[in-house]
Amino acid sequence: MARVSFENVVKKFGDVIAVNDLNIDVADKEFLVLVGPSGCGKTTALRCLAGLEEITEGTIKIGERVVNDIAPKDRDIAMVFQSYALYPHLSVYDNMAFGLKLRKVPKDEIKRRVGEAADILGIQDLLERKPRQLSGGQRQRVAVGRAIVREPKVFLFDEPLSNLDAKLRIAMRAEISKLHQRLQTTFIYVTHDQMEAMTMATRIAVINKGLLQQLDTPQNLYDHPNNLFVAGFIGTPAMNFFPGKLRRDNGKLLVDTGDFVVAIPPKKVKPYENLAGKDIIFGLRPENIHDVDFVPTNIDTDKVAVKVDLTELMGNEIFLYMVSGKNTFVARVDPRSQLRVGQQAEVAFDMDNFHIFDAATEEAIR
């Protein structure tokens, strides 16, 4: 078991900065997820930790040991890749045992470790099969098992579920979370899928263009994003954004988008009371926009006139895509809603749960 730390880590490819001054401390036994869009630097950071890329500047530690100049095989890590990378001519048992055989681990110890890993992953009946005889989910289990048998201090996962279908991905998410609880080892997991990050992580590091945007628990990232990028990346459907200004009128502080105006409740005014006239971006999550006939009790709301542009009936909820002037946005509403395409209607904005960002810096104003 080990903590991991990135200290001012920089990785350059020529003039391109892939990882820019990364500072993260991963606690022992933590499940940290690095998340961000393709090309943001998250996989490069993981490969630097694994020793597959040489860092340009900074320090990486596993436990108290600086590993900058230590070979990958000596870092006491195990990595699971997006591609299963199984040897097609070897059985499941031999694929899982291969690395141990190279290290000249005694046969009895290999048998014990492979047996325990197979039991954890529920693949005891597959040990004699070849990879071509396995489903995608079974192959991924074998790849995970190959990592488990090494009994490393740190497990690294590089988008391991990307090749699986949607239903199997959900099942494997749960399996990997259970595996973390059972092994009680440090997990560092890379994905571009924020749903994977939200459901699996102890903490999430959101990265964009090589820069760490925010490091926090899933719920805090969702409730208190530091900036516009984090707010838009975390959450499905994404947060709605409305460019506008703050202004005062008859003692009230208003958000004026040019197409609609909503009032900030008195209990929420304090962080913004001296910002009248400021250009801002008003953010509201889809679940905080309601059909006026199905508004939750005990919340402050303001009504906005809209035209319904598209509906997606999900069974337990409805996604309404709406237009108000130049603004298009989505609401996640009660499944009993009767709003349909083409209707002119009003929706209720939950003014207890909004976000305001500085239009110039894109940083959250709190």
Q: Are strands 154-158 and 77-80 parallel, antiparallel or unpaired?
A: parallel
Q: Distance (Å, rounded) from C-alpha 317 to C-alpha 337?
A: 9
CB neighbourhood size of 286 (10 A): 20
Give one DSSP letter per residue of 169-221, joined into a string.
HHHHHHHHHHHHHHH--EEEEEES-HHHHHHH-SEEEEEETTEEEEEE-HHHH
CB neighbourhood size of 101 (10 A): 11
Q: Which amino acid is at 142?
A: V
Report pLDDT for 2. 85
Q: Distance (Å, rounded) from C-alpha 103 to C-alpha 280?
A: 59
Per-residue pLDDT of the chain (366 residues; tens, 9 = 90+): 589 999 999 999 999 999 999 999 999 999 999 999 999 999 999 999 999 999 999 999 999 999 999 999 899 999 998 888 899 999 999 999 999 998 899 999 999 999 999 988 889 999 999 999 998 889 988 999 999 998 899 999 999 888 888 888 888 888 889 899 988 999 999 999 999 999 999 999 999 999 999 999 999 999 999 999 999 999 999 999 999 999 999 889 999 999 999 999 999 999 998 999 999 999 999 999 999 999 999 999 999 999 999 999 999 999 999 999 999 999 999 999 999 999 999 999 999 999 999 999 999 998
Query: Residue-wise over 319-342: b if at least 16 C-beta within 10 A, else e?
Result: ebbbebeebebbbbbeeebebeee
The topology under which CATH files domain 4-233 is Rossmann fold (3.40.50)
Domains in the chain: boundaries:
4-233, 240-358
Q: Which CATH class is domain 240-358?
A: mainly beta
Q: Distance (Å, rounded) from C-alpha 186 to C-alpha 207?
A: 20
**Backbone angles phi and psi of 352, in degrees to 5:** -90, -10
Report pLDDT for 110. 94
Report pLDDT for 1. 57
Please check whether the two domains, 4-233 and 240-358, share a CATH topology.
Answer: no
3-class SS of residue 106: coil
The angle subtended at Cα 277 by Cα 362 and Cα 352, nearest 5°, is: 65
